[in-house]
Structure 1
Amino acid sequence: MTMNHISNEASPGTRPGGHAGEIHAFDSGEHTGITRMQRRVLLGGSVGQFIEFYDFALYGLSAVVLSALFFPSDNQLAGLLALFATFGVAFFVRPIGGLIFGSLGDRIGRRNVLVITLLLIGVATTGIGLLPTFETAGPIAPILLVLLRLVQGLSAGGESAGAPSFVFEHAPVNRRGLFVNITLAATALPSVAAAFFIFFLSISMNDEAFTAWGWRVPFLIALPLALVGLWIRAKTEESPAFKEMAREQAEQAAEVAAEVEVAKHSPVREAFRTNWLKMIQVVFVMGLTAMGFYFLSGYFVPFVQTSGNLSRDQALLLNGFAMLAYTVLLPVAGAIGDRIGRRPMLIGGAITIAVLAIPSFLLVTSGSVPLAMCGQLLFVLAICFYGGGCYTFFIEVFDTKTRFTSAAFSYNLGYALLGGTAPFVGTALVNATEVPFSPAFYVIGIALLTLVAMAITKVPETRGLRH
C-alpha cells in the first residue's frame, strides 16, 4: 500500500462494530510520547511562522512613516493608499509562491524548501530596512520596495503552508491538531511584539531620529531572527511521510525501469488533476478563518478608534490582550479537534462565528474599554473554535505526494481573497452605511456561505487518516 493511499482498514484503535471505511478515534496510547525530534520540528515551525508574520505585521505598523519616505505626497491619504497597494501585492502573489515552493517541497522535500523560504523572508525584510528613500533615490526607491514585497509574498506563500505541513508530518497521529495549532498560534504574537518594539523605539528617540533611521531597526533584525530559525531547523530531519513516499517512488521506478517517467512527475499538474475539489474546499474553509484573523489583527485597532472613540494606546492594548488570548486558545481548540474531529469544529465554529459576530462588533464599538475587550475576546473565542478544525484540515485532507503544493496554493488563495481584503471591506461598509457594526453582517454572510459550501461539497472528516 503506498503512502498516498488513505487506509480505511480497521486499526487497533477502531471501535468494535464500526462501519467499513469509517475512521474512528485511534488508540489513545498510540504515539502518545513526543520525541526530541518532534519538539525540534515544532519549535522550528513555530519560529518560522513567527518570523513570517512579524515581517508582515511590521510593514503595516510602519505604514505612516513608510508612506512619507517612499510615497511622498501633499495628501497623506494618497501616500497611505499607495503604500497599502504594495501591502496587497504581497498577498496576491502568495498563491504563486505556494505553487512554486509547494511543487519544490513535493519534489525535493519539505525541510529543504523551508530553509529557502525562511532565508528569503529574512533577506527581503532586512532589505527594506536598508533601502534608500524617495528623497535620496527618487522613483527607484518605491520600485525596490515593491520588488522586496514581492519576494516577501512569494516566500511567505511557501512558508505559510510548508511549516504546518512539516510539523503535521512529524506529529503523533492523535496530536496533529495540537501540533499544527501551536505552530499557527505563533502567527498572533508577531503583531504584539512588533507593536511594542516600534513603540519602545518611538519613545526612546525624537521624531526626527526615528524618521531618519529609527524605523529601520525593526526591519534589520529580521535576518538575525531568520538565521536563528535556520539554526533550529538545521537540527531537524525530513518528515517520515516524505521519506517513505520518496522510497516507494524509487522502488516503483526500479521495478518498471521507468525513472524518466517518475522524473517527469509534476506536483502542480497532479494537484490540480486529482485534488481540485479538495483545493476548492480548502479555499473557502481557510477563507473564513483568514477573514476572522485579519479583522482581529488588522482591523480592530483602527476600528475601535474610529467607531468606538477609544485612543490609539487603548486600541493597541486591547488588541494585544486579544492576540495573546488567541495564542492560548488556538492550541486548546486544536487539542479538542484531535478528540472530537475536524468537521464538528468546522461546523460548530462557523455557526459560532455567525452567532457572535453582531454582539462582538457591538461591544467593540461601545466606547467602553471593558466592553470593547469583551467584544474582542468573544470574537477570538469564535475564530479559535473554528480554527480547531480548519488549520489541521487544510493539510490533512491531502495525501503526501501533493500535500505541499495543494495546501500551499489553496491556503494562500483563501487568504488573498478574504484575508487581505477584510480590513478594506470593513472600512468600506462602515463608510457606506454609517453603521459602526455593519462589518458584522459581512462576517455572518461569509460564515453562512461557508456552511452551505461545506454541505454542498461534502467536506470530509479527516481526523486519523493515515496517508
Structure 2
Amino acid sequence: MLSSTSQTTATVQSAAKRPLFAASSGTFIEFFDYGSYSYLATTIAAVFFPPGNPTVALVQTFALFALSFAMRPIGALFWGHFGDRIGRKRALALTIIGIGLATTCIGLLPGYATIGFWAPVLLVLLRFLQSFCTAGEYTGAAILVVEYAPADKRARYISSVAIGCAVGFLAASVVSTLLNGLLDEDAMNTWGWRIPFLLAAPMTLVGVYLRNRIDETPVFRAAQEKGELAKLPLVVLFREHWRALLRTLAIMGVNATGYYLVLGYMQTYLEVEVGLSGFEASIIMTTSLLVYLPMLYGGAYLSDRFGRKTMLMANAVLFLVLSYPIFLLLGISGFAAAMAIQILFVGIFSLNDSTIACFFTESFPAKVRYSGSAIPTNVGVAIFGGTGPLVASWLIAQTGDNTMPAFVMMFVALIGAVALIFTKETKPTKAEAAALNAATAEAEAKVH
C-alpha cells in the first residue's frame, strides 16, 4: 500500500485521465443518433411513413422510437452479466461497434416511397440492434470512469460521460440546424436527413481506437485477482440488492423522462406546438445545449460537495413545481422567450444528469456494479424515456392541451422524490475516499 497521500492522489488522478475520452466517445455517438432522430422527427415521419395526416405520422415516428427501447432491458441483462464477468473494457469494445454499425445502416435505408412497408420495418430492426448495444454503453462508460477516478471527485470525472451525451445532442442539433437552414424540404426528405446517421461510421472508428488503448479498470482487476467476481452476478444482484434496484429504477424515471423530453422532444414541441420554424427551434436547442455543458460540470462539483441525494432531490422538487409554468409559458412565447425558458429547463435538469451516473455506480458493489447499474438505467429508459415523447404527443393530440408534457414530467418527479426519501447518501466520506484512492493506486502500481 502506498504510504504517501500526495503520491496516491497523483497516481489516481493520472490514471483517471486515460479513460475519459474513450468512455465518452461511445456516449457521444449514442446521443448524436438519438438527437438526430429527435431533431429530424418531422422529416423521418415524412420519409418512412405513408403520406397523409402529419400528426399521425409524427406519433408513429415516436412510437417506433419507443418500441425500440423494448430491447434495452434485454440488453441490460446481457451486458450487465458480460461486464461483471469478463470486464468493463471488453464489453465497451463491443457496444460501440454495434451502435455505430446500426446507426450507419439507418442512414443507408430507402424510404417508404421506395420500398413501402419494409422501410419502417427495417428501421425498427436497426433501432432494436442499436438499443440492445446501447443498454451496455452508458452504464459501462460511467463505470469505466468511476473505477479509475479519485473517490472524492467522482462526480466531476464521471461528468465527462454526461458531457459526451450532451455534446452528442449538441452536435446533432448543430447538424440539423445547418441542414434545416441550407436545404429545402425536398432535399431534406431525399438525402439531407441521411447525413447525421452516416457520420456515425468515422466516429465509431475513432471510438474503437481509443477504447483499444486503455487498460481494464483497477477495481475490476483487483476483484479478479482476489477471486471476488460473482459467477452469476444477476443472481447475486436480485437476491441481495433488490431494494436498491427498485429505488434506483424509480429515480431513473426522472432522468430518462427529462432527457428525452427536455433535450430531445422539445425540438418537435417548439415547431409543432409553439409554431417556430425548424431553424428557429434548432437555434434554441443548440444554444440551450451550449449552456448545458458548463451546467453539467457545475452540478457535478456541487454533487461532490453536497452529495448525490441532495442534488437529485433538488431536481425532483423543481420539476414538480416548475414544469407546468414552463410549458404554460412556452405555449404563448415567441422566439426570445422560448429560448430563455428552455435554458431554465435544461438548468433544472442538469442537477439530475450531473449526478445520477455517479449515484448509480455507488449504489452497488463492484462484483454486481455493471448489472446493478445497467438494469435500472435501461428498464427506466424503456418505461419512462422511450415512451416520454410518445405519451406527450398522444396526450396533446387527445386533449388539444399543449401543457400535457408538464404532467408527464411532474408524475415521474413525484415518484423519484418519494424513492429518494428512502435512499441513503452514497457519496463516500473522507475516510472512505482515502481508502478507495489508496486501493486504486496500489492496483495501478502493479500494472505500471
TM-score by length of 1: 0.84
Tell me the alpha carbon deviations over residues 155-177 of structure 1, each in whole angstroms, 9 at most, x when there is no partner: 00110211111111111111111
Letter in 2 for 1:315: A
Aligned to 1:290: 256
Give how far 1:279 is off.
1.0
Evaluate the alpha carbon distance shift between residue 81 and residue 450 of structure 1 in structure 2; reply closer, same or farther with a 3 A threshold.
closer
Give how far 1:314 is off.
2.1
Give how far 1:344 is off.
1.5
Aligned to 1:407: 373
Say if 2:223 is the partner of 1:237: no
Match of 1:460 among 409, 424, 443: 424
1:299·1:423 contact (CA, 8 Å) conserved in 2?
A: yes
Letter in 1 for 2:199: I
Q: Which moved more, 1:74-83 or 1:362-371?
A: 74-83
Say if 2:355 is the partner of 1:377: no
1:343·1:460 contact (CA, 8 Å) conserved in 2?
A: yes
Give how far 1:88 is off.
1.5
Q: CA RMSD in A?
A: 2.7
Give how far 1:380 is off.
1.8
Higher relative contact order (CA 8 A, sep 6+): 2
Q: Which moved more, 1:203-212 or 1:403-412?
A: 203-212
What is the aligned residue count?
Answer: 428
Aligned to 1:53: 31
Question: Does the residue aligned with 1:186 lie in a helix, a strand or coil?
Answer: helix
Letter in 2 for 1:117: T
Say if 2:301 is the partner of 1:360: no
Evaluate the alpha carbon distance shift between residue 98 and residue 393 of structure 1 in structure 2; reply closer, same or farther with a 3 A threshold.
same
Tell me the alpha carbon deviations over residues 246-266 of structure 1, each in whole angstroms, 9 at most, x when there is no partner: 1111xx7xxxxxxxxx8x811
2:92·2:140 contact (CA, 8 Å) conserved in 1?
A: yes
2:220·2:366 contact (CA, 8 Å) conserved in 1?
A: yes
Distance, in Å, in 1 between the alignment partners of 2:282 and 2:242 is 41
Give how far 1:54 is off.
0.9
Give runs of aligned pairs for residues 302-321 of structure 1, distance below 5 A. Answer: 302-321=268-287
Letter in 2 for 1:463: K
Aligned to 1:328: 294
TM-score by length of 2: 0.87
Match of 1:179 among 157, 160, 168: 157
Tell me the alpha carbon deviations over residues 64-88 of structure 1, each in whole angstroms, 9 at most, x when there is no partner: 4444443334444444444333211
Tell me the alpha carbon deviations over residues 16-62 of structure 1, each in whole angstroms, 9 at most, x when there is no partner: xxxxxxxxxxx999736764442231111111111011122223333
Aligned to 1:20: none
1:310·1:367 contact (CA, 8 Å) conserved in 2?
A: no
Give runs of aligned pairs for residues 115-134 of structure 1, distance below 5 A. Answer: 115-134=93-112
Letter in 1 for 2:260: Y
Evaluate the alpha carbon distance shift between residue 348 and residue 77 of structure 1 in structure 2; reply closer, same or farther with a 3 A threshold.
closer
Say if 2:306 is the partner of 1:340: yes
Letter in 2 for 1:225: M
1:28·1:174 contact (CA, 8 Å) conserved in 2?
A: no
Distance, in Å, in 2 between the alignment partners of 1:452 and 1:387 is 18
Match of 1:71 among 39, 49, 54: 49
Q: Which moved more, 1:216-225 or 1:200-209?
A: 200-209
In proportion to residue count, which structure has more helix? 2
Distance, in Å, in 2 between the alignment partners of 1:139 and 1:436 is 31
Question: Does the residue aligned with 1:308 lie in a helix, a strand or coil?
Answer: coil
Distance, in Å, in 1 between the alignment partners of 2:6 and 2:262 is 35
Distance, in Å, in 2 between the alignment partners of 1:192 and 1:157 is 21
Runs of 4 or more consecutive aligned structure 1 residues displaced over 6 Å after TM superposition: 27-30
Q: Which moved more, 1:229-238 or 1:439-448?
A: 439-448
Distance, in Å, in 1 between the alignment partners of 2:427 and 2:117 is 52
Say if 2:231 is the partner of 1:268: no
Distance, in Å, in 2 between the alignment partners of 1:144 and 1:343 is 42
Give how far 1:308 is off.
3.1
Q: Which moved more, 1:280-289 or 1:127-136?
A: 127-136
2:146·2:157 contact (CA, 8 Å) conserved in 1?
A: yes
Evaluate the alpha carbon distance shift between residue 422 and residue 286 of structure 1 in structure 2; reply closer, same or farther with a 3 A threshold.
same
Letter in 1 for 2:61: L
Say if 2:131 is the partner of 1:165: no
Q: Which moved more, 1:210-219 or 1:375-384?
A: 210-219
Distance, in Å, in 1 between the alignment partners of 2:137 and 2:333 is 39
**Structure with the greater alpha carbon radius of gyration:** 1
Evaluate the alpha carbon distance shift between residue 144 and residue 290 of structure 1 in structure 2; reply closer, same or farther with a 3 A threshold.
same
Gaps of 5+ in 1: 1-11, 13-26, 253-261
1:89·1:153 contact (CA, 8 Å) conserved in 2?
A: no
2:158·2:357 contact (CA, 8 Å) conserved in 1?
A: yes
1:98·1:408 contact (CA, 8 Å) conserved in 2?
A: yes
Aligned to 1:41: 19
Evaluate the alpha carbon distance shift between residue 205 and residue 289 of structure 1 in structure 2; reply closer, same or farther with a 3 A threshold.
closer
Gaps of 5+ in 2: 440-448
Distance, in Å, in 1 between the alignment partners of 2:272 and 2:413 is 25
Say if 2:62 is the partner of 1:84: yes
Evaluate the alpha carbon distance shift between residue 437 and residue 59 of structure 1 in structure 2; reply closer, same or farther with a 3 A threshold.
closer
Give how far 1:137 is off.
4.2
Tell me the alpha carbon deviations over residues 281-329 of structure 1, each in whole angstroms, 9 at most, x when there is no partner: 1111111122122221222223233443333322221122222222221
Say if 2:203 is the partner of 1:225: yes
Give how far 1:208 is off.
4.7
Evaluate the alpha carbon distance shift between residue 80 and residue 367 of structure 1 in structure 2; reply closer, same or farther with a 3 A threshold.
closer
Distance, in Å, in 1 between the alignment partners of 2:411 and 2:215 is 43
2:139·2:373 contact (CA, 8 Å) conserved in 1?
A: yes
2:59·2:390 contact (CA, 8 Å) conserved in 1?
A: no
Question: Does the residue aligned with 1:237 lie in a helix, a strand or coil?
Answer: coil
Say if 2:112 is the partner of 1:146: no
Distance, in Å, in 2 between the alignment partners of 1:429 and 1:79 is 15
Identity across aligned pairs (percent)?
35
Give runs of aligned pairs for residues 5-24 of structure 1, distance below 5 A. Answer: none
Aligned to 1:109: 87
Distance, in Å, in 2 between the alignment partners of 1:29 and 1:379 is 42
Evaluate the alpha carbon distance shift between residue 198 and residue 382 of structure 1 in structure 2; reply closer, same or farther with a 3 A threshold.
closer
